Structures are given as C-alpha cells and as structure tokens.
Structure 1
Amino acid sequence: MMDFTAVPAAPDHVEYLDAAAATAAGRGYKRRFLEALDVRPGQVVLDVGCGPGTDLVRLSGAVGEAGSVVGVDRDPAMVEHARRRASGHRNVEVRRGDVHALPCADACADRVRTDRVLQHVEDPARAVAELRRVLRPGGLAGMAELDWDTLAVDDSDVETSRAVSRFMAGRVRNAVVGRQLPRLAAAAGLAVFDVDASVVVFRDFGTADQVLGLRRNVIRAVQAGVLGQRAAEDWAHRTVSGPFLATLTLFTVVAGV
C-alpha cells in the first residue's frame, strides 16, 4: 500500500539520469539518436545540457583524437560530475553555461545536441535559436524530447489513468515540446531534415516508476485533490501487481544549416 501522507523523496539527479540511460529504452534511443546525428571523426560536437556527462565519453569516441566534445550545463554540480567522468579523455571539455546564452562562439560546432533538455528550459524558442547560432555551415543539430501529453498507462479504470497522466504532464514545464521541435527549428532558421517519433514502452511497474516517478506523482495527485485516495489506492494496487503497460512518445529531430 502507498503512504498518501508523505511524498517519497525524489531520487538523486545523477543516479536518476544514469539509471534512465541504462534502461533498454534509454540505450536504444541514445544509439539511434547518435546515428541520426551522424557524428564523424575530427568534428566539434556540443552536448548542451550534458548533465553528469552521461553521453560525453561516447561522443568522445565518435569524434576521435582529431575532434573535440564540449559539454555545457548550468548546474555546477553536474559540471563537476561531468568533468570527473570525462577526465581521462583529452578531447572533452565541460563548461558551465545556460542554453539560452551558450558560452560558445558563433559557428563553432559541426554538431550540437540536446537530449530531454528543452522540456525544462524557460524559453525553448530562444534555446533552439542558440543551437542555430553555434552551428557551422553544413552542421547538424539534434534534439530529442518526450511529449508528456502522450503518456498512457493501461488500467481498467481509464479515467483514473487519464487523470494520472494529465497530472504528470502538468508538472513538466514544456510538456509538449517534443511535437513542437520541427516548428521551433524552422523558426530558428534551421532546415528540418528528419523527424522521428518512437514509442517508449514500459512493461513492468518498477522500471516505469524508476523513470517516470509514478508512485510519488500519484501521491502528489491525491494530496493536490486531483485524485480520490480510494481510487488511487485501487489503481496503484492493480498497476503494481500487474500485468503492466505504459507508453510515452519520444520525438527526435535532426535539422541543419
């Protein structure tokens, strides 16, 4: 049974990002994302919102010794983690900076990427314009974002599942930025070359809870008066005991100049 009197503590941010990247869904989309961005030896790649450096080592290997990777993050703790993680790779540099005003010169990069960053920023349009600013002619920008309005959790009580999904989407700053990426890219002066929409599928409650925070969000929804406690308890019991299915759409866009 869930304790609806207290919200479970959110996981450590570094542990959460690493755990999400290590899931089958995380590994799969990150591989496809890197392939779509077509990173090549000798290139300069910016990883904007690099977090604890989850992808820096992989990017380092893709550009080789003749290339370079620059990770940028606004959180000093993340910058420190990323620097430690990439410390053995001489072609990697990590800078502290904001996606709305990148600490990088105009037209300095062959490739620039953001991975589930724009859903959190104050002004996604301004952030995408910054990605355009730092791209060299012929360069590519890759953006991957979830569309939280597409979250669906199967249960016999469809209305409670819908209420949970709406509540969770409402807690994300830019919940539908995934579907907006092509429009934002075009408005920034980028040519959109590829748009991919893939469905992330969760077949067990534990993984979904780890990545999506289902337990704490259901408790928050009850405390906010969005869900009745009895309905939430019954819903939680069925979803935890299984069988379980939840889906969420991930949009990946590749654009360039």
Structure 2
Amino acid sequence: MKGDKERSLHEEAWAQVYPLTDRQFSALGLQVLEALALQAGDSVLDVGCGTGQSLLQLAERVGPTGLVIGVDVSGAFLDIAKKRTRSFQHINLIEADAQTVALPPGSFDAVFSRLGIMAFEDPAAAFANFQKMLKPSGKLGFCCWRSLQDNELDLLPLEASGMLSRADQTPFSFSDAAYIRQILKGAGFQDIAIIPHDEPVSCGGVEETIAVLLKVGALGKIVREDPNLGPQVEPLLRQVLIERCDGEIVRLNASVFVVTASI
C-alpha cells in the first residue's frame, strides 16, 4: 500500500508541473535524438514516454510514414500524452512495464529513452528485452543521470535545504559508465558509446523553479513524503535560487550520460 501511495503522489506531482519539466529536460532528450540520427519512416519505441513531449519530438523526425510507440507504467502520464498526441496517427501508446512488455521481435529501428531507464528492478532483463525488439540494424539510445554530486539540479536544492542525507539514490543508479557498459554487453549490444554531457537547464524563473523542485526530483520526493517540510525548506530554497537567478531565468547544471549502442 505504501508503494501505491508513493507512486500516486509521484504521478500527481509530475502531472502538475509537466509543462515546466518539459522545458527543463527537452534539451537532454534532443542530445539522444541527434545521436540516434533517425530517418523518415523509422519505427521507434519510447521507453518511459511519460507525458509525451519526447513522443512528439520522435514523431517529427520519423514523419507520417514512421511509427512511434510510447510505453509507460503510469496511466496518469499516458492520459496526458494521449491528449497531446491525438492528432498524430503514427503515435501509439501502451500502458505497461517496459522491462517486461511483450512486443514482436525485430520490430523497431530504434529504442529511445529520456531519463526513463534508471528504476528497473532488473536492468539486465530490461535491456535484453529491448535488444530482442530491435531490427538487425537497430540502435539503442538513452540518457541517464550521472552522479548526484555531478548534478547541480538536484544537489543544490538538497544542500540548500539541509536534506542531502535523505536523498534517494535510485535515479542515479546508472551513474557508473562501467556498469552501463556491463549491462549493455550482457544484453547483446555492441558499439557502445557513453558520452558525458552537461547542460544548464531551466524551467523558468525563481517561482517556476521552486514549483518544480518542491514537487519532483530528489528534494521533491522528500517533500512529497513529508509535506510538513515544504514550509521549512521553501525559504531556504528561494534564497539560493534568487542568488543564482540570471535576469529572470534560473539555470542549474544537469549532468547525464548520452548512451548509444547497436546489435
């Protein structure tokens, strides 16, 4: 029951701020799209497609002759994605766990994910599943967080609020490049490239950034689980963000690996 409640709170929080997180994370996904070099007519699986921004970006690249299938475990996220993509006949959505979803072997030219692969219970099984879905010439591309210490986007609010010791490390489970390579090689991938990428990201000014950081990300998870902390940490967060504000924009560094591989 506790897990169901946490998941519900997580989904509700992301649904409330997804236009802001889209703004924040779009550039990270675009790095992966550039690396994949998709062509018109390609078929692509979007793992952890969330509320749908990446689906739209993929659909633009593969065009109406292509196919984009988004899979996500959250029905709430897919409800939003469905509304955003309903005018695109070549986008289909599946509510399922991408780790175990059963799709025909050799179906896709590419498997893509923007920050959607770090919480699998069995990463080896998940990537073996993706490998089976790819065509012989297919490619895998995703981005994942590097370490918490590398990611100002989460580290700064945690330090400002005194909550660093309570941070959940799950989102940073792919922060070791050697571990990524081991998982992908074990799943049958080759030509593995793991490129560090740093991007100053923004969802807007101080108010928008506070709204996001108190709902999602490392600090947001802590506040969701203990709402009484919100009034306590908000002024501390506001102070440090005001100091970091450049004009009307707050930019915080996001550190990821951009990973590609083939079969």
For the aligned pair, the TM-score class normalised by the smaller chain equals 0.7 to 0.9
Q: CA offset at residue 187 of structure 1?
A: 1.8
Please tell me whether residue 173 in structure 1 is matched to residue 179 in structure 2: no
Question: 1:252 matched to which residue of 2?
Answer: 258
Change (3 A) 1:80 1:149: same
Letter aligned with residue 40 of structure 1? Q
Give the structure 2 partner of residue 217 of structure 1.
219
Is the 2:20–2:208 contact (alpha carbons within 8 Å) kept by the matching residues of 1? no
What is the rounded CA distance, in whole Å, between the counterparts of 2:214 and 2:255 in structure 1?
A: 17
Q: Is the 8 A contact 2:100 2:129 kept in 1?
A: yes
Query: 1:206, CA displacement in angstroms?
Result: 4.8
Separation of aligned partners in 1, 2:210 and 2:93? 31
CA contact (8 A) 2:213 2:220 kept: no
Aligned residue in 2 for 1:227: none
**What letter matches 1:19 in structure 2?**
L
Matched position secondary structure for 2:141? strand
What is the CA-CA distance between 1:18 and the residue it aligns to? 3.2
Matched residues in 2 for 1:134 and 1:219: separation? 33
- Equivalents in 2 of 1:27, 1:243: separation in Å? 21
Matched length: 237
TM-score (norm 2): 0.74
1:48 deviates by 1.3
Task: Look up the match of 2:119.
Answer: 120
Residues 6-37 of structure 1: CA distance to partner in whole angstroms, max 9, x if unpaired?
xxx876322433321213xx232222221111
Q: Secondary structure at the match of 2:34?
A: helix
Aligned to 1:133: 132
1:187 and 2:183 correspond: no
Per-residue CA deviation, residues 92-130 of structure 1 (Å, 9 max, x unaligned), is: 111121111123111110011121112222222222221
CA drift of 1:208 comes to: 4.9
SS at match of 2:77: helix
Q: Distance in 2 between matches of 1:207 and 1:183?
A: 39
- Report the secondary structure of 2:148's partner residue: strand
When structure 1 is superposed on structure 2, of 43-52 and 197-206 the one drifting more is 197-206
Match of 1:4 in 2: none
- Give the distance between the partners of 2:57 and 2:65, measured in 1 at CA: 15
Cα distance change of structure 1 residues 44 and 246 upon mapping to structure 2, 3 Å threshold: closer
Q: Is the 8 A contact 1:106 1:134 kept in 2?
A: yes
Matches within 5 A, 1:27-42: 27-42=26-41
Where structure 2 has 5 or more consecutive residues not aligned to the other structure, the ranges are 1-8, 227-231, 246-250
Q: Distance in 2 between matches of 1:125 and 1:219?
A: 26
Does 2:17 match 1:20? no
Q: Give, in whole Å, the separation in 1 of the partners of 2:108 and 2:28.
A: 23
Deviation larger for 159-168 or 52-61 = 159-168
Query: Unmatched 5+ residue regions in structure 1?
Result: 1-8, 225-229
Partner of 1:69: 68
- Whether the aligned pair in 1 keeps the contact of 2:46 and 2:71 (CA below 8 Å) is yes
Higher helix share: 2
With over 3 angstroms needed to count, the CA separation of the structure-2 counterparts of 1:172 and 1:40, relative to structure 1, is: same
Residue 229 of structure 2 corresponds to none
2:144–2:258: 8 Å Cα contact kept in structure 1? yes
CA distance in 2, matches of 1:16, 1:148: 24
- 2:64, 2:95 → 1: CA distance? 23
TM-score, with normalisation over the residues of structure 1? 0.76
The 8 Å contact of residues 110 and 140 in structure 2, kept in 1 or not, is answered as yes
Provide the identity percentage: 20
CA RMSD, 1 decimal: 3.5
Larger radius of gyration: 1
1:34-183 equivalence runs, <5 A: 34-150=33-149, 151-152=151-152, 153=155, 160=159, 164-168=163-167, 171-179=168-176, 180-183=179-182
What is the CA–CA distance in structure 2 between the aligned matches of 1:237 and 1:95, rounded to whole Å? 39
